[in-house]
Amino acid sequence: MLLKIENLIEGSVVKRPSKIIKTPYVADVIPLNSSSEILAHTASLGCCGLADVGANILMALMPIPKSKSNKQKCQYR
C-alpha cells in the first residue's frame, strides 16, 4: 500500500470555487449525513471533472497546524 488515508467522509461538491473563498482550490461541500456546507481543499483544479459541482467526493479532516500564525481556511481536503 502506497498511501493510507483514514477516516474518510463522503460528500458532494455544491460550488467550486467556494462562495466564501474565491480560489479554484476551495469548494463548498455538503457531507453525506449533514445539511450544512463546509469548506474543502480540492486539488488539481477539479481533477478532470472528479471534483466539479455535483461530484461525490471522499474527504479527510486536515490536521490542525501547530503554528498560531498559520491560519487554516479549510477543515477538509
Residue 57 and residue 11 in contact, taking contact as beta carbons nearer than 8 Å? yes
Q: What is the pLDDT of residue 59?
A: 92
Compute the C-alpha angle 13/65/68, nearest 5°.
120
pTM to 2 decimals?
0.80
Measured distance CA(7)–CA(21) in Å, rounded? 25
Quick one: pLDDT at residue 72?
81
Q: Which runs of consecutive H residues, i.e. helices, occur in the chain?
A: none
The two most distant CA atoms of the chain are separated, in Å, by 37
Tens-digit pLDDT string for the chain (77 aa): 688 888 899 999 999 889 999 888 899 999 998 889 999 998 766 677 777 889 999 999 888 777 766 778 888 98
Q: Which residues, including other chains, have CB under 8 Å from residue 45's CB and lie 6 or more apart?
A: 24, 25
